[in-house]
A = this chain, B = another copy of it.
């Protein structure tokens, strides 16, 4: 090591001649072994430790990805590679990044998939999941809370059912949950959930886009789905986005800190909203159970008026809502989630999702009810 009286070292002047591994010295490549690389590496590992601490897991079990979609793909495609003739059990209201991975595996003959139908209240029955398990089942994937109707699934009960099946049949079925929508409001200590794989992202927790996490429990045999570097415990190649990981970890810390208080606040607002909606618009249907539900979610069906038109009319009045998952928006079809809980819903019946958050106030709700009244008065002339 150089002596402390080394002139160059003392002046702390940095000469950056590693532009090929990362053009900006202020954000060097975390895999570079020089000082600035080590600083980035430390940033990355601090972020990993913080996330691990909040989930109450080991840092090496936390894999940073480019988002929840990649996390879900890595969890399912990465696990399935280990098995011959694998069987997957999932539900019919999963996010597209779980459902379409499963459909791809079916289509290409790489896995057999059972899609357990959700109950009319938007809850997946753990007993039905258990009934669907077979000797060649290797994975169950059920989301923690639904992105459209906000219903919360019985993850610990499903975990218990899987463990019971494993014990009796001497199998090892892994359990994945997409927790993207749950993170802000529900308990996320992994041990209390009993899952092996757990996905979420930065964009839904007031953090950065383009960054996600996959928790991979030790000895869960996930293989990489992309190739080219040993980053992220060998599971996710590519220059690590240390800044993004840091921002995600900080966002997670903040939502965790205010979780209880914010959940209570939104629950009051949500129930006020539901009350106003049912009183003002007797014809609307509230989709999904109101008890086992995220405190920030309201989803309604307004018969005979197209969803996209409702979203656009509200937007024109400065109110941002959505008809269904953004990943599936704008195709003019009814939501597959709403249709799964209510077979009478047609493509011509509109549904609206209101998802509340940190900025939401009571007057937002009052104004939304007013705007919706104006819109429905106008549109019902044409659509009824």
Contact = CB atoms under 8 A, between A and B. Distances in A.
Interface stretch (A14-22, A53-61, A125-133): A14-22
Task: Name the residue among A33, A99, A209 with the largest chain B CB count within 10 angstroms.
Answer: A209
Contacts of A242: 209
Interface stretch (A82-90, A115-123, A190-198, A220-228): A220-228
Interface in A352-375: 353-360, 364, 367-368, 370-371, 374
A20 to B, nearest CB: 3
B34 A321 contact: yes
Given A8-B371, A31-B330, A181-B20, A15 B364 contact: yes
B238 A320 contact: no
A313 B33 CA distance: 11
A72 B227 CA distance: 9
A69 B226 contact: yes
Interface in A172-218: 181, 184, 201, 203-207, 209-211
Interface in A65-112: 66-70, 72-73, 77, 95-101, 103-104
B237 A31 contact: no
A346 to B, nearest CB: 20
A206 B24 contact: yes
A168 interface: no
Contacts of A136: none
A19 B95 contact: no
B12 A318 contact: yes
A67 B241 CA distance: 10
B317 A6 contact: yes
Given A210-B66, A210-B211, A312-B34, A228 B72 contact: yes
Interface in A316-357: 316-323, 325-330, 353-357
Contacts of A356: 17, 19
Contacts of A353: 18, 20
Contact size range, A: 35 or more
Interface string A42-65: 000000000000000000000000
Contacts of A13: 318, 367
Contacts of A32: 320, 322, 326, 329
A227 B320 contact: no
Contacts of A95: 228
Nearest to A1: B316
A228 B327 contact: yes
A315 B33 contact: yes
A162 interface: no
A328 B8 CA distance: 28
A153 to B, nearest CB: 16
Interface string A232-275: 00000111111110000000000000000000000000000000
A323 B317 CA distance: 58
- State the 8 A-B residue pairs at the shortest beta-carbon distance, nearest first: A97-B228, A19-B357, A69-B238, A66-B66, A20-B355, A229-B327, A210-B241, A34-B315
Interface of A: 1-2, 6, 8-9, 11-25, 27-29, 31-37, 66-70, 72-73, 77, 95-101, 103-104, 147-148, 150, 181, 184, 201, 203-207, 209-211, 225-231, 237-244, 296-297, 308, 311-323, 325-330, 353-360, 364, 367-368, 370-371, 374
